[in-house]
Amino acid sequence: MNPAAPDFIEIGGAALEFHRHDGEGPALVFLHEGLGSAAMWRDFPARLAAATGCQAVVYSRRGYGRSAPRDGAYGVDFMHREALDVLPELLARLGIERPVLVGHSDGASIALIHAAHHPVAGVVAEAPHIFVEQICVDAIAEARDAFAATDLAARLGRYHDDPEHAFRGWNDIWLDPAFRDWRIDGLLDRVDCPVLAIQGTDDQYGTMAQIDGIAARAAGPVDLLKLPDCGHSPHRDRPGAVLRAMAGFVAALGEPAGG
């Protein structure tokens, strides 16, 4: 993927950047983390596409990466709106049916919400959130302080046209007291596709209760991958192990039940 030369597609009246890798089989659709963008996946989508032979689509949500800025404030339902309004339109415009959703952090939550309402071939949920934990709120508060006191804004400028907007859109919502009651575990009994849930044991934004909760409540089969020596970004911290697990998961989607 060349992050300097994205394509753009108009969704909901706004231009969203996206990158596409050709391939066969189900499309892998990558959904970035709360402070992420298409470019922040780096070469991982291309590597997974090559390992699976699948096509892959990576896009930046509105207000992130090179996508159009967002009008107005973000709401506490922003993940639901992305999953139920933006993503279905994007998939339809790109001619994608029954994708494999590969989500990281907020993107993993968006993937699960979408899968509870629309048919998908499978979900890879990497460091997902299904409810708000204090450990996550504390880490996001620390990020707010780092944004004010360090060069974090400048570093984010490598990946976002408006790093201030991107940061506030994530940080302010997660620290809003109204967001403490956000949760999606009640939707999981509607997720009947296979799920691969991945989390690092050193994740500063969540405990194993997140992926254990998916395994306990999802309607479909769930494989868990708990990675030692790994933080909130398993595809960056443990790329080899994550690539193998995801490629194996995608390959198994094409096998007959019990095969």
Query: Average pLDDT for residues 26-32, to the nearest whole number?
Result: 96
pLDDT confidence bin for 255, thresholds 50/70/90: low
pTM value is 0.95
Domain 7-253 belongs in CATH node 3.40.50.300: no
Backbone φ, ψ for residue 50 (5° rounding): -65, -40
Question: Alpha helix locations (H) across 74-221?
Answer: 78-81, 87-93, 106-115, 134-149, 152-156, 163-174, 209-217
Handedness of CA 235, 53, 93, 256 (dihedral sign): negative
Q: What is the DSSP letter of 212?
A: H
In contact, 17 and 66? CB cutoff 8 Å: yes
Residues 178-222 pLDDT 10s? 999 999 999 999 999 999 999 999 999 999 999 999 999 999 999
| Residue-range domain boundaries for the chain | 7-253
